[in-house]
């Protein structure tokens, strides 16, 4: 690990909700495991007509000061929570002007990962409120984004980390994250390749071929990683169905579910579509979304 990697913080969005506190606890635990500093970020999403630096209007000045003070109190409470849990943890706090999405995107430039809470809202409500920030942050973050809607399942035996593998080069960053995390936590990797088939005779005839292609994709993608992490047990699974349902069920008792982003085709090409949004809203454990660096020569696009 380089000096830069040792000082790159884990960033967590701070909000006054149960989901926000769950995310802060997860982020603090992960920072302690990785011996990384933790950065608490609270965004001051000012109303459109607010005066952020009032000078002449006493009423506006009082409101603005209270608004900013509330943000500072939120950060103080968050710091107390994580320091009580991990007394030796290096923690700093950032009060950022702007929307949560803008603040966290900016923070992703020098973060080891971004951690978000995610409340259980209806689809329509989530898309129209701050409960929906996970999708736009994930779409453009330059580091892994962890969406914590449910606690990790630490009581399962053996503990597992589920990773989606589509066989393409864009799966590599997600697989790398999954193996590194499994090694840190003494967990088993469950690598899942999802095949989607339409109904009818054609699907029946192609089933054997699809299953074989799935097994080959898993073998090729995992080969180097099993050699690099020989002590990490690996279970390979080829499943037929919708990726959201298959991956959600596979990770029902997992420490986390890891998926990749970007590229065309398969799960990775559906970052802003129904598959990724379905997992962000319905995963039954923390969801880790790992970006693949854009490469013009590969033909992959956001």
Quick check: is 154 in a domain? no
Domain boundary among 148, 179, 201: 148
Domain that holds residue 71: 3-148
Quick check: is 153 in a domain? no
Is the domain of 235 the same as that of 125?
Answer: no
Per-residue pLDDT, 141? 86
Domain boundary among 106, 128, 148: 148
Per-residue pLDDT, 300? 43
Residue showing tokens 């997860």: 26
Quick check: is 137 in a domain? yes
Is the domain of 136 the same as that of 231?
Answer: no
CA-closest candidate to residue 9, choices 39, 34, 32: 39
Is the domain of 64 the same as that of 187?
Answer: no
Is the domain of 135 the same as that of 235?
Answer: no
Is the domain of 15 the same as that of 64?
Answer: yes
Q: What is the CATH number of the domain that holds 223?
A: 3.40.50.12370
CA-closest candidate to residue 261, choices 221, 203, 302, 214: 302
Domain boundary among 148, 178, 195: 148
Check residue 231 and report its DSSP letter: T
Q: Please answer whether residues 221 and 171 qualify as being in contact, where contact means their C-beta atoms are separated by less than 8 angstroms.
A: yes
Is the domain of 122 the same as that of 142?
Answer: yes
d(CA 25, CA 33) in angstroms, rounded, equals 12
Q: What is the CATH number of the domain that holds 72?
A: 3.40.50.620
The band of 51, judged by pLDDT with boundaries at 50, 70 and 90, is low
Confidence check: pLDDT of 69 > 50:
yes
Is the domain of 80 the same as that of 130?
Answer: yes
Alpha-carbon distances, residue 106 vs 94, 220, 252 (angstroms): 12, 35, 32
Quick check: is 241 in a domain? yes
Is the domain of 96 the same as that of 52?
Answer: yes
Per-residue model confidence as pLDDT tens digits over 73-99: 999 999 999 999 999 999 999 999 989
Confidence check: pLDDT of 209 > 70:
yes
Per-residue pLDDT, 178? 97
d(CA 114, CA 3) in angstroms, rounded, equals 20
Which residues neighbour 290 within 8 Å (Cβ) at sequence distance 6 or greater? 144, 173, 174, 176, 177, 258, 259, 260, 261
Number of domains in the chain: 2
Is the domain of 164 the same as that of 244?
Answer: yes
Is the domain of 113 the same as that of 170?
Answer: no
């Amino acid at each position: 690990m380089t000096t830069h990697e040792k000082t790159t913080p884990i960033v967590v969005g701070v909000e006054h909700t149960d989901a926000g506190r769950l995310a802060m606890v997860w982020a603090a635990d992960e920072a302690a495991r990785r011996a990384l500093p933790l950065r608490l970020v609270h965004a001051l999403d000012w109303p459109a007509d607010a005066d952020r630096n009032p000078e002449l209007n006493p009423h506006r000045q009082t409101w603005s000061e209270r608004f900013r003070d509330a943000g500072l109190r939120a950060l103080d409470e968050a710091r107390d929570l994580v320091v009580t849990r991990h007394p030796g943890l290096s923690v700093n706090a950032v009060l950022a002007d702007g929307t949560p999405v803008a603040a966290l995107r900016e923070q992703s430039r020098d973060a080891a990962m971004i951690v978000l809470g995610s409340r259980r809202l209806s689809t329509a409500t989530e898309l129209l409120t701050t409960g929906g920030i996970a999708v736009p942050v994930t779409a453009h973050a330059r580091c892994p984004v962890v969406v914590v809607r449910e606690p990790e399942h630490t009581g399962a035996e053996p503990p597992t980390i589920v990773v989606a593998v589509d066989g393409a080069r864009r799966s590599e960053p997600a697989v790398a994250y999954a193996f590194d995390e499994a090694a840190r936590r003494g967990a088993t990797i469950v690598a899942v390749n999802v095949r989607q088939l339409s109904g009818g005779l054609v699907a029946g005839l192609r089933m054997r071929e699809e299953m074989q292609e799935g097994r080959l994709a898993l073998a090729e993608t995992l080969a180097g990683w099993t050699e690099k992490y020989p002590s990490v047990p690996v279970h390979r699974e080829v499943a037929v169905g919708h990726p959201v349902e298959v991956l959600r069920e596979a990770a029902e008792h997992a420490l986390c579910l890891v998926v990749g982003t970007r590229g065309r085709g398969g799960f990775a090409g559906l970052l802003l579509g129904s598959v990724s949004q379905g997992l962000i809203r319905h995963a039954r454990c923390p969801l880790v979304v790992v970006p693949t660096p854009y490469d013009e020569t590969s033909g992959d696009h956001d």
